[in-house]
Amino acid sequence: MLSLKTAAWLRTLVRRMGPVATDAGSATGDSRTDMSGRTQSVLRAFFGGGGGRAGLRIDPGGWLKSVRTSRARESTMPLSEERLTLTLDGGVEGIWDCNLADRSIWISERWLARLGYAVDAIEARQPLDHIVHAEDRERLTLAMVAHARGLAPTYECEHRVVCRDGTSFWVLTRGRVVERNGAGKALRAVGTQIDISHRREAEARVEYLALHDDLTGLPNRRLLRQRLDRAVMRARNGRFTAAVLACDLDGFKAVNDTLGHSAGDRLLRIVADRLSGAVGSGNTVARLGGDEFALVLEGLEGPHQADAVAKHVIAVLCAPIEIDGMVVEIGVGIGAVMVPNEGITADDLLRRADIALYEAKTTGRDTYRRFEPALAARHSARYLLAFDMKDAIRRGDFYLVYQPVIDLAAETVTSFEALMRWRHPERGLISPMEFIPVAEETGLIVALGAWALAEACREAMAWPGEIRVAVNVSTVQFQHDLERSVSNALDGAGLSADRLNLEVTESALMRDPEGVVATLHRLRARGVRIALDDFGTGYSSLSYLRRFPFDKIKIDRAFIKDIAEPDAAAIVRAVVGLGERLGMSIVAEGGETAEQLDLVRSEGCDEVQGFLFSRPLPANEVQAFLRSRRMSAAA
Ligand code: C2E
Ligand code: MG
Ligand code: MG
């Protein structure tokens, strides 16, 4: 028979089931005869409704089992019991009752079935550790201990449960201690368990996508950083020697350009496979974008092992690759850095690896260099900028501003010169005078310049048809298919070629006069106009004017600044005379004062560009500037 004390305890238990059963359930006692004919007293606590009632039954041996009775027998069921039964019948939620002393656990009927156990089997009372995934036990225990010690009002943990057949799935376990001994020690906890495997799978998928490269399935930059953080921490504990290898393919662009992008993609996948094979398991191979990869090698005995892996990687990637029946050969430059044990950020590690890579690339094809502090000291500022620049291109931190060029006779705007700006997340605005040379040195100007062309042409489409856009092109772009970048930009924007001016400097003509002049002729044949920029700075300028019939000469602002002085004025006058004879119009750069403007006009310049009229404007202010000029002309 059920004692009063036990009945009260059961009611308390039912009340404490927390979110599932908020009201007190019922508790009764009765007796039954077992198989051997003995009479046993049985304790029951019921929660339930609907088609039947679910509950706990404590048999004389102390076993708690779930039981079910028919609705007909228990017709006056409270609403809370009905809700609980419905929940339990739904099968997505289970109830558990854990003896904290021996860690044995009772689990409700449907949930036991979900775990693959027979409901009435004696094994219904499982040791807790059997059903919790081995990797999650410590976490679960810690959460339970924190709650048992009163540090958390309830206890909650996401973990995996192991089914009888060995498979596992994710659950959210919530519970609370319902019984303590006189000394306050937690003896028993009860609670619920919800299947969250679908949510976990979706989360895992999202996480996978966020941390992996689409094309190759390799870890991406974010995951690489996480792995680097781990390697740095281990190195700090003196446990592991690790190295980071930055790899940049040679010859990838040629494959992409000649065989097409899908061949390029296949090549990258083959490279990914070869790299993964070359470094073996336990190490990380990541794709950082384009043809850049990075490796994190862990558990090394010393730098010599990193050197050996790097040489092996070079050998593996140099082996011919067959794509679409064509045999292609690529190479790779590798820069490595050992993870120091004094603590370093992942970004600094990557920077150092990049410095070494840059050194390797400038030494020659298929070269490997390991970072040394002397390297950084030699090049640090520039390299750091180059490193940041790669990220900035990806993030879109570059933008263009537009400075108007004014026709001196008509006082109207003829064009805008697109000038690049870089808003660095830490350093703020960086001048093109600082970053363009670095971009040229590292080859990043090719991508950056193509972007500027495309962006400027796109922007110019919004302007009145008579206004042209001028874009600066660097010498390096000539060696990397400038014509294609120009065509892509014009076609992409739908801009007519005669609205595009390209500004080139004398240095472009110095490096490869024949090649550059031929390119300029072809571009001009398409209708693009060509200006010689910064005229008068440095070189034996006049000879270049004979090599190519430029449309415009832009006199460097150094001469305009000093135009009040006889020497500078004489040079400006000579250039204007030259322009007239060669049929080239003359632009004065850097007109800042009304006095300079008068002199520039009296010396015979055709156009002027300078702060006097306007500083370079953000794209969205161009139209307003044009309107205000038109209004002041009309007034
Ligand atoms: P640049 O092509 O000669 O451009 C003219 C520079 O003179 C611009 O400097 C402009 O802001 C500045 N300027 C214009 N009027 C005045 C003035 O009245 N007073 C003074 N003090 N300066 C004036 P910015 O924008 O700093 O560009 C510097 C150089 O960086 C450019 O000289 C060009 O060589 C290079 N650059 C800028 N954008 C690009 C680009 O997209 N591609 C390439 N390859 N080079 C670029
Ligand atoms: Mg220019
Ligand atoms: Mg200039």
Residue ranges of the domains in the chain? 4-201, 214-371, 398-634
Query: Using 50, 70 and 90 to split pLDDT, how confident is the model at 69?
Result: very low
Res. 588: pLDDT tops 80: yes
What span, in angstroms and rounded, lies between the C-alpha atoms of 486 and 484? 5
The reply to whether ligand 1 has any atom less than 6 angstroms from the CB of 616 is yes
What is the pLDDT at residue 380? 66
Q: Taking Cα atoms as reference points, which of 367, 465, 373 lies closest to residue 415?
A: 465
Of 33-42, 309-318, 626-635, the range with the highest mean pLDDT is 309-318
| Ligand with minimal distance to 556 CA | 3
Question: Of residues 259 and 413, which shows the higher confidence score?
Answer: 413
Residue 583 corresponds to which tokens in the numbers above? 């049929």
DSSP structure string for 416-469: EEEEEEEEETTTEEE-HHHHHHHHHHHTHHHHHHHHHHHHHHHHHTTS-TT-EE
C-beta of residue 268 within 8 angstroms of C-beta of residue 214:
no
Nearest CA to ligand 1 atom 13: 590
SS3 category, 380 = helix
The reply to whether ligand 1 has any atom less than 6 angstroms from the CB of 503 is yes
Distance 489 CA to ligand 1 centre (A): 21
Query: Using 50, 70 and 90 to split pLDDT, how confident is the model at 365?
Result: confident
Residue 398 corresponds to which tokens in the numbers above? 């570059």
Nearest CA to ligand 1 atom 41: 420
What is the pLDDT at residue 15? 47
What is the pLDDT at residue 1? 35
Give the mean model confidence (pLDDT) for residues 247-252: 91
CATH superfamily of 214-371: Reverse transcriptase/Diguanylate cyclase domain (3.30.70.270)
C-alpha torsion sign, points 267, 272, 273, 274: positive
Distance 86 CA to ligand 1 centre (A): 74
Distance 409 CA to ligand 2 centre (A): 22
Choice from 436, 444, 478 to test ligand 1 binding pocket (greatest atom count within 8 A of CB)? 436
Nearest CA to ligand 1 atom 46: 472
Residue 570 corresponds to which tokens in the numbers above? 């004489």
The reply to whether ligand 1 has any atom less than 6 angstroms from the CB of 432 is yes
Q: pLDDT digits over 112-123, tens only?
A: 888 888 766 545
Give the pTM. 0.53
| Number of the ligand 1 atom closest to the C-alpha atom of 436 | 45
Nearest CA to ligand 1 atom 30: 432
Choice from 430, 434, 442, 472 to test ligand 1 binding pocket (greatest atom count within 8 A of CB)? 472
What is the pLDDT at residue 58? 39
The reply to whether ligand 1 has any atom less than 6 angstroms from the CB of 534 is yes
| Ligand with minimal distance to 587 CA | 3
Nearest CA to ligand 1 atom 11: 616
What percent of the chain stands above pLDDT 70?
Answer: 82
Nearest CA to ligand 1 atom 45: 472
C-beta of residue 81 within 8 angstroms of C-beta of residue 63:
no
C-beta of residue 333 within 8 angstroms of C-beta of residue 248:
yes
Distance 544 CA to ligand 2 centre (A): 17
Query: Using 50, 70 and 90 to split pLDDT, how confident is the model at 21?
Result: very low
Q: pLDDT digits over 71-87, tens only?
A: 333 445 566 666 666 66
Nearest CA to ligand 1 atom 5: 589
The reply to whether ligand 1 has any atom less than 6 angstroms from the CB of 472 is yes
Which class for 321: exposed (0-12), middle (13-18), buried (19 or more C-beta within 10 A)? middle
Reported in sequence order, the residue ranges of 73-167 that DSSP labels E, i.e. its strands, are 93-99, 104-107, 125-127, 155-162
Q: Where does 398-634 sit in CATH, by number?
A: 3.20.20.450
CATH topology of domain 4-201: Beta-Lactamase (3.30.450)
